[in-house]
Amino acid sequence: MKVLFLTRTFPPITGGMENQNYELSRWLPRAGVALTTVANHRGKRFLPLFLPYVLLRALFLAPRHDAVLLGDGVMAVVGWAIKVVYPSKPVLCVIHGLDVRYPNAIYQSLWVRRFLPRLDRLIAVGAGTIDEAEAHGIPRANCVFIPNGVDPDAFYDPTSSRADLAGLLGLNLENRKVLLSTGRLAPHKGVDWFVAEVLPKLPSDVLLVVAGDGEKMQDIRSILTRDGLSARVVLLGKVSAQTLKLLYNTADLYVKPNVPVPGLLEGFGLVSLEAASCALTVIAADIEGNRYAISSGENGFLVPSRDPEAWAAKINDVLSDRFDRHAFGMRARDFVTRNLAWSVIATAYKQQLHRGTTS
């Protein structure tokens, strides 16, 4: 099967969507797909020029391929043009929540109401995205849910030691438990809520390490000063992949405390899979995309969002001597490898692409 993959977001641009598109470009060929990738490698400043460029390239290359895969909803305009010129050519598109709900009148009028519905199939990375698509007038039958994948060996490093973590943080970690949170500090990620409402309910030997930056960073700093919690939280800001690997493999527990925020949505929760793939026990808010990344009791635990008592109770339980974090972590890693590794997800994409060519 020959597939043309068109993506406007690709490294050196970094983020969840960009990394997902990059991993698709790596893993689809390993699943047996002959892939031709046309991608933007020049950063955000080239994006206005990339759409007309990729449109011309796609119209030239499409006849040589069995199907076309678009990396995100913005590329739907290119898919629409392909369907106009080559009506029988299968065109599939990966969609994220913002691809459907982006609050722009022109985008809603053209992309959501005209371009996206014209495509043969929309592959939603979160099941909640299908609900949003239907709410915006896109037929549910046109959508299929395939979760994001993870390379279970990308971050796993059992040779990392607690001494390495202590050296990174510049702290004595003897008799301390380390909680880890990673990712962008956006309002719906809930890290500021966690610091204010949950951390004070935990024993004083619990240390929270936050790797990431974003609009809530200053709020978190203010909470630490106001509540006298500065000694219990380390704010690392944005970190390298190598530092992230060390953190995933040496922390005691990973927390993902999302909260509901109007207009914002946790699409899937890929960082939870990264943590679980490193045999790190994950506790995540039972909300939105976390429900599709975490199978409670299998590769982590879900607890009610914005319930500080429930969060504190579950954290204390997992950190206690009664709970074997190592054994659970290894089971979680095995679950992720069997069900959510990119090798598995790429095969699911291949099946959808094949279905498109035979329907």
Q: Whole-angstrom Cα distance, residue 359 to residue 354?
A: 9
Q: Whole-angstrom Cα distance, residue 178 to residue 199?
A: 12
Among candidates 271, 339, 257, 261, which has minimal Cα distance to 306?
257
Amino acid 17: pLDDT: 67
Place of tokens 């909680």: 179
Q: Whole-angstrom Cα distance, residue 293 to residue 3?
A: 27
Give the residues across from 38 on adjacent strands: 6
Amino acid 13: pLDDT: 46
Q: Tens digits of per-residue pLDDT, 268-300?
A: 778 899 999 999 999 999 998 888 889 999 999
Q: Whole-angstrom Cα distance, residue 281 to residue 326?
A: 8
Q: Whole-angstrom Cα distance, residue 280 to residue 301?
A: 12
Residue count of the chain: 359
Q: Are 10 and 17 in contact (CB under 8 A)?
A: no
Q: Tens digits of per-residue pLDDT, 311-355?
A: 999 999 999 999 999 999 999 999 999 999 999 999 999 999 998
How do the pLDDT tens digits run along the chain, 359 residues long?
Answer: 999 999 987 664 445 667 888 899 999 999 999 999 999 887 777 778 888 999 999 999 999 999 999 999 999 999 999 999 999 999 999 998 889 988 899 999 999 999 999 999 999 988 888 988 999 999 999 999 998 899 999 999 999 999 999 999 999 999 999 999 999 899 999 999 999 999 999 999 999 999 999 999 999 999 999 999 999 999 999 999 999 999 999 999 999 999 999 877 777 778 899 999 999 999 999 998 888 889 999 999 999 999 999 999 999 999 999 999 999 999 999 999 999 999 999 999 999 999 877 76
Residue 139, preceding bond cis, omega within 30 degrees?
no
Q: Are 125 and 147 in contact (CB under 8 A)?
A: yes
The HSE-up count of residue 317 (CA atoms within 13 Å, CB side) is: 10
**Counting beta carbons within 10 angstroms of the beta carbon of residue 136, is it exposed (0 to 12), middle (13 to 18) or buried (19 or more)?**
middle
Q: Whole-angstrom Cα distance, residue 348 to residue 20?
A: 14
Amino acid 262: pLDDT: 84
Question: What are the distances in angstroms from CA 192 to CA 94, 206, 218, 235, 239?
Answer: 31, 16, 9, 12, 19
Q: Are 62 and 92 in contact (CB under 8 A)?
A: no
Query: Could you give all domains of the chain from N- to C-terminal order, each with its CATH number?
Result: 2-149+341-358 (3.40.50.2000), 162-339 (3.40.50.2000)
Amino acid letter, 294: I
Phi and psi (nearest 5°) for 178? -110, 120
Edge to edge, the sheet with strand 253-256 lists: 233-237, 206-211, 177-182, 253-256, 282-285, 301-303
Considering the entire predicted model, what is its pTM?
0.87
